[in-house]
Amino acid sequence: MNPIRLLIPALLLLLPATAVQARTAAENIFFIKPDGITYLNYSTTRSDYPNYSLFLKKDETDSSFDYIYPNDYRFDATSEAERNVILFDQGSYATMRPGRLADRVTVDKGVYTFVNWEESKNPKLPGGYFGEWTSPNDFAQYVYVWVLPDNLEIVSFEANQPDDKGTWQLRRNTLAWFGHDVNNIVFKIQYRQKTSRVAELVRTSLQANGAAPQDIGVIAEEGDVRVVLPSGILFPSGSPALSDPGKAVLGQIASALKAQESQHFVVEGHTDNAPISPALQSRFSSNWELSAARSLEVVKFLEQAGISGQRLESRAFGANRPVAPNDTEPNRTLNRRIEIRIRPGS
């Protein structure tokens, strides 16, 4: 498997042997979402080569991208057994696509640690390539950028290149690395949610009881805190009844929140856009009704766990407020969720 495929839209492989002295410059910009895991990536490459190939995993196609330039590319799913290819008849191109950092991130005591390549998980490619790479020549210039939302802050950053090959620049919430004459680049970036007393209470309770922080988002926003719980953690598929693991997670959240008497809790139900299964149509006419039933189930549990009903509110949005396009199963999984918004009481 392509070792950085989960991080950037593609790897770069320059095809023609006749242009071995060509120079390549690339920019790779990640707009990180408030959950600290999902992102929108814009990547652009400029070179003297007459053509370029962009490698994808076999289960990915050009429809995985929101934007591809130039528009007259060719998509090839048959020539290579292990990967698909986008072919450009020029040496410069740009792409934009959504994605998830996923298994590139670990979380410990509220600090997210991102590493773009680890040999224990993704061995080097033939030719010894790894991390951020290009072929046959090195990057003449390579710029790697993270743009963080207001609720996240950088803790630390490092690269596997010497200081004379690249420099870091942190401006407000934008972190950039500027490299030259480099290849096989590995980055380690640590970041965290900005401090919030209520958010820290929820995170501490979840971590103390073994919940996975990368599955449950605790997001401190301006004026409130948002707890994002995938429906798969709380409910069996298609059911509005809480599972035992779901009750355990909600119990941990309730134990952190019930003493916060000045806070108001809005429980929102969200689904993907897949039609209700025939087995459930007798109970729910649409995803909206299912999301309402799940939201109410969480509200009732929180009340039973000790949070006053006067501080609880239920809302349902069905498939109307997705956080990702409903075009793949991983994206649909992101959209099936319960969000608990914690706000100052009125």
Q: What is the three-state SS of the chain? A: CCCCCCCCCCEEECCCHHHCCCCEEEEEEEEECCCCCEEEEEEEEEECCCCEEEEEECCCCHHHCCEEECCCCEEECCCCCCEEEEEECCCCEEEEEEEECHHHEEEECCEEEEECCCCCCCCCECCCECCECCCCCCEEEEEEEEECCCCEEEEEEEECCCCCCEEEEEECCEEEEEEEEECCECEEEEEEECCCHHHHHHHHHHHHCCCCCCCCEEEEECCEEEEEEEHHHHCCCCCCCCCHHHHHHHHHHHHHHCCCCCEEEEEEEECCCCCCCCCCCCCCCCHHHHHHHHHHHHHHHHHHCCCCHHHEEEEEEECCCCCCCCCCHHHHHHHCEEEEEEEECC
pLDDT computed for residue 316 by the predictor: 97
Question: What number of CA atoms fall less than 13 Å from residue 109's CA on the CB side?
Answer: 1
pLDDT computed for residue 298 by the predictor: 97
119 with 130: CB under 8 angstroms?
Answer: yes
Question: What dihedral angle (degrees, nearest 10) is formed by the CA atoms of 331, 332, 336, 340?
Answer: 20
5-19, 72-86, 109-123, 203-217 — most confident range: 72-86
- Bridge-based pairing state of the strands 263-270 and 312-318: parallel
Segment 67-107, tens digit of pLDDT: 999 999 999 999 988 889 999 999 999 999 999 998 899 87
Q: What residues form DSSP beta bridges with 56? A: 84
Domain 197-344 has CATH 3.30.230.10: no
Assess whether pLDDT exceeds 90 at residue 322. Answer: yes
Are 11-193 and 197-344 in the same CATH fold?
A: no
Assess whether pLDDT exceeds 50 at residue 177. Answer: yes
Q: Show the tokens assigned to 64.
A: 């995985």
Residue 251 phi/psi, 5-degree rounding, is -65, -40
Quick one: which of 148, 152, 288 has its CA closest to 217?
A: 152
Architecture of domain 11-193: Sandwich (2.60)
Contacts of 162 (CB under 8 A, 6+ apart): none
Average the pLDDT over each of 8-12, 161-165, 208-212 and give the range with the smallest value: 8-12
pLDDT computed for residue 307 by the predictor: 93
pLDDT bucket at 5, cuts 50 / 70 / 90 = very low
Length of the chain: 346
pLDDT bucket at 17, cuts 50 / 70 / 90 = very low
Q: What is the rounded CA–CA span in Å between residue 14 and residue 19? A: 9
Q: Where are the domains of the chain?
A: 11-193, 197-344
Segment 126-157, tens digit of pLDDT: 899 999 999 889 999 999 999 998 878 899 99
Assess whether pLDDT exceeds 70 at residue 15. Answer: no
Segment 22-37, tens digit of pLDDT: 789 999 999 999 878 8
